Amino acid sequence: MLLDPNYLRDRIRTVPDWPQAGVQFRDITPLLQDPKTLRVLVEQFVFRYMDQDIDLIAGIDARGFIIGAILAHELNVGFVPIRKKGKLPYTTISEEYELEYGSATVEMHSDACKPGDRVLLIDDLIATGGTMMAGKRLLERLGAVVVEGCAIVDLPELGGSALLREGGLKLFTLVDFAGH
Ligand code: HSX
């Protein structure tokens, strides 16, 4: 049976005015909480990537860790974390990127991947695209081939997915929400 296109979208919770007034937060935790929904979610990514010769999955702090680690297990590949600044214990490389106000930094262990590794980048959501673009830059600095960036949710009106595609990153997302 084909999946109803709204199956996942209908199970994402929208929390108004969180973490600040005017923001509609798209909460993916209900997708993880229900066993059937979690299986459906993971299988969307498994079917997409099972024949793409992925060597490694890089998940972005923090919700990208959850789905990324499950997917890595399913594809029988390794998982590496891309973390917010100051969380990783070993030698790191870092990339700073702009937020609406100020900046943020993400880091990766300097031995997280090898030149030529085909890496899939994963997060829960793409908004401005800054976080995923910084992740792509980290991986490419280590010589990885970033096969694709993927996420559960895209907020296309914030322009991130368009920007990432213009920057040369192929993208795969499961649910689009217009508006923020
Ligand atoms: C949120 O911000 C999500 O979990 C992502 O990690 C990130 C997406 O924002 P953006 O960098 O695309 O604007 O915490």
Q: Which residue in the list 11, 95, 100, 140 is annotated as catalytic?
A: 100
The pLDDT, as a whole number, for residue 179 is: 59
Q: Does the beta carbon of 134 sit less than 6 angstroms from any atom of ligand 1?
A: no
State yes or no: is 63 an active-site residue: yes
Q: Does the beta carbon of 125 sit less than 6 angstroms from any atom of ligand 1?
A: yes
The pLDDT, as a whole number, for residue 180 is: 54
CA of 126 to the centre of ligand 1 (A): 6
DSSP structure string for 132-150: HHHHHHHHHHTT-EEEEEE
The pLDDT, as a whole number, for residue 100 is: 75
Tokens coding 22: 């005017």
The pLDDT, as a whole number, for residue 5 is: 79
> Which ipTM did the prediction report?
0.99
Q: In Å, what is the CA distance from 62 to each residue of 50, 81, 118, 129? A: 24, 9, 22, 15
Residues of the chain falling short of pLDDT 70: 1, 179-180
Global pTM value: 0.96
The pLDDT, as a whole number, for residue 2 is: 72
